[in-house]
Structure 1
């Protein structure tokens, strides 16, 4: 599906969200907590080389791993 053109994807069973949905939508962002953790120096350096937002990227990867594990072991 990732290789398909948007025009070739059938969205008929998924109606577009209108203004009413977004007027009532609420954003829920989990609170952040400062932690101290030890990472391998080369791993940390690699993330830092990716530029600003490297800590957010690390958090996203950890969250993806957590969600995968939760699905495997509910």
Structure 2
């Protein structure tokens, strides 16, 4: 339901002055140490990579037990996505079990 409020823009936390003053070799050293930097990932690690769009979302009205919702909300923003991830994991396990039969 729309609340009429606009979402607050994400605050940029980058220290641009520090970054501009950093020597190039320091930038390279940090990039080389970054495990999430695609340039530092071995080629073999991409062998099984899957590139694709996530499944389309469908809006539904659902009622959950209050303590279940409270549990997921304790994790902060994205609680609905976490609930979806749990349901997806359950679905995928059941589908895998059904294929074994």
Question: TM-score with structure 1 length normalisation?
Answer: 0.65
The runs of at least 4 aligned residues of structure 1 exceeding 3 Å deviation read none
2:69, 2:45 → 1: CA distance? Answer: 41
Residues 10-58 of structure 1, C-alpha deviation per residue, up to 9 Å, x if partnerless? xxxx82438xxx8xx7422100011111100111111111100000000
Match of 2:44 in 1: 15
Higher relative contact order (CA 8 A, sep 6+): 1
Unaligned runs of 5+ in 2: 1-42
Give RMSD over aligned pairs: 2.4
Question: TM-score with structure 2 length normalisation?
Answer: 0.49
Unaligned runs of 5+ in 1: 1-13
Deviation at 1:60, TM superposition (A): 0.5
Equivalent residue pairs, number: 56
Q: Which of 39, 55, 58 pairs up with 1:30?
A: 55
Larger Rg: 2
